[in-house]
Amino acid sequence: MKQEINPSSRTAADVPSRGLKRRLRLGERFIEGWIFLAGLLSIVVLLGIIFILLKEGLPIFGTTNPWDFLFGTHWYPIADPPVFGIAPFFISTLWVTLISTIIAVPLGVACAAYLSEVAPRKVAETVKPIIEILAGIPSVMMGFIGLALLSPFVQSLFNLNTGLCGFTAAIMLSLMSLPIIVSVSEDAMHAVPQEFKEASYALGATKWETIWHVCIPAALSGIAAAIMLGVGRAIGETMTVLMIAGNALAMPASPTDPMTTMTAAIANSIGNAVRGGVQYQAIFAIGIVLFILTFGVNIIAERVLERQKRKFAR
């Protein structure tokens, strides 16, 4: 994995004098140690987060059994006794993520195919950075746009009682995961060897046939990774869904119902949770569920991306 430079293996010509050699060695050691510590720190932080999540979250299962917690349909944190059931939040997260993926994937992959295969080089080189800037728009702005512009539109489109619903949130989330999907799948399609495409054209295939039958299948694992990264973004997004998904506690029957995702439920309840209290523990337990979900998605994405890299390693 890591190539270590062994100072003793240097030839005499590399080392001008003894004093400099010692200084070089010292500097080298210092930098090596620094990098080692920096690498270590990120792992410490990750393990620390996992440790705290488990330490603060697991005690809830002493008062609420895991089955009731995961499959209970009522969430009354300030009732006496409090009731913690996160099934509606889990289903809401799935709804919102599913709809946003259904919207973002065809758009994103089509955009990537255009940028990689169809667009003139100059256009692609201008458009791609612009799309990547879209990823930098703060989520609270997306929430605000959703609240002010999109929710009245969705309300009149589906003739709903209120435009604050899962569908509105899903549209905004799809806009937020779009840049990731476009960027990563464009890279994947770009990495498809030129020979593949040339062979396809040589057989008389049109541009469309080449994209559909050669480029996309060859880049499929990269596109899959892009989708997974986009899904991870949608699951974890908080501010936008908090502002526009409606935050109703009922089990959502359709995507146009107001709903509370797991992230929004955490954000809604964290404020008045006293450190160490039951509500605090319940929120951390939602955090554990959320962590497992996004961790799983990221691991799948990582695996798939790794396979893509190996496939076209040149």
Binding site for another protein (CB under 8 A): 1, 36, 40, 43-44, 47-48, 51-52, 55, 74, 76-80, 88, 147, 152, 161-162, 164, 242-243, 246-251, 258, 260, 268-269, 271-275, 277
Q: What are phi and psi of 72, to 5 degrees?
A: -65, 145
Tokens of 21: 């050699």
Compare residues 182 and 262 and give the one whose CB is closer to another protein.
262
β-bridge mates for residue 259, sequence order: 246
Compare residues 49 and 118 and give the one whose CB is closer to another protein.
49
Do 168 and 151 contact (CB within 8 A), yes or no? Answer: yes
Compare residues 35 and 133 and give the one whose CB is closer to another protein.
35
Q: Smallest gap, in angstroms, from Cβ of residue 67 to another protein? A: 20
Do 231 and 293 contact (CB within 8 A), yes or no? Answer: no
Q: Smallest gap, in angstroms, from Cβ of residue 210 to another protein? A: 38
Angle at 64 between CA 259 and CA 271, to 5 degrees: 50
Q: Smallest gap, in angstroms, from Cβ of residue 281 to another protein? A: 14
Q: Smallest gap, in angstroms, from Cβ of residue 240 to another protein? A: 12
Q: Smallest gap, in angstroms, from Cβ of residue 225 to another protein? A: 20
Collect all residues with Cβ–Cβ distance below 8 Å to 191 and sequence separation of at least 6. Answer: 219, 222, 308, 312
Compare residues 198 and 306 and give the one whose CB is closer to another protein.
306
Compare residues 50 and 123 and give the one whose CB is closer to another protein.
50
- Written as one letter, the residue type at 193 is P
Nearest to 269 by CA among 238, 232, 244: 238
